[in-house]
């Protein structure tokens, strides 16, 4: 089970929030039943893109042997 402040990886795109599979977020709340998580996604400068309620099918734990990747968030360009 994931816990608060764990890094997680999105397993699919969420287009209405401009999030892509592979984006890294932080668990900011773990529900007691272990079936849901509030996950925050932020830019490199700390601007929040979204805080979403997600399930374990939406995210996976971040593996510390993985490398981070940079991409521009197009919704911030408008």
Residue 13 CA, chain-centre distance (Å), reads 11
Distances (CA, A) of 76 to 3, 18, 24: 29, 9, 17
Fold of 7-63: SH3 type barrels. (2.30.30)
Tell the residue number behind the tokens 């521009």, with chain if given: 72
Domain coordinates in residue numbering, the chain: 7-63
Confidence (pTM) = 0.91
CA atoms within 13 Å, Cβ hemisphere of 19: 26
The predicted-structure confidence for 3-53, as pLDDT tens digits, reads as follows: 999 999 999 999 999 999 999 999 999 998 878 999 999 999 999 999 999
Residue of 55, 20, 57 lying closest to 38 (CA atoms): 55
């Amino acid at each position: 089970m994931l816990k608060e402040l764990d890094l997680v990886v999105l397993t699919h795109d969420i287009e209405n929030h401009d999030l892509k599979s592979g984006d890294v977020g932080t668990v900011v709340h773990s529900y007691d039943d272990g079936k849901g998580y509030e996950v925050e996604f932020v830019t490199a400068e700390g601007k929040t893109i979204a805080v979403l309620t997600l399930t374990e099918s939406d995210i996976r734990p971040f593996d510390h042997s993985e490398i981070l990747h940079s991409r521009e968030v197009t919704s911030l360009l408008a």
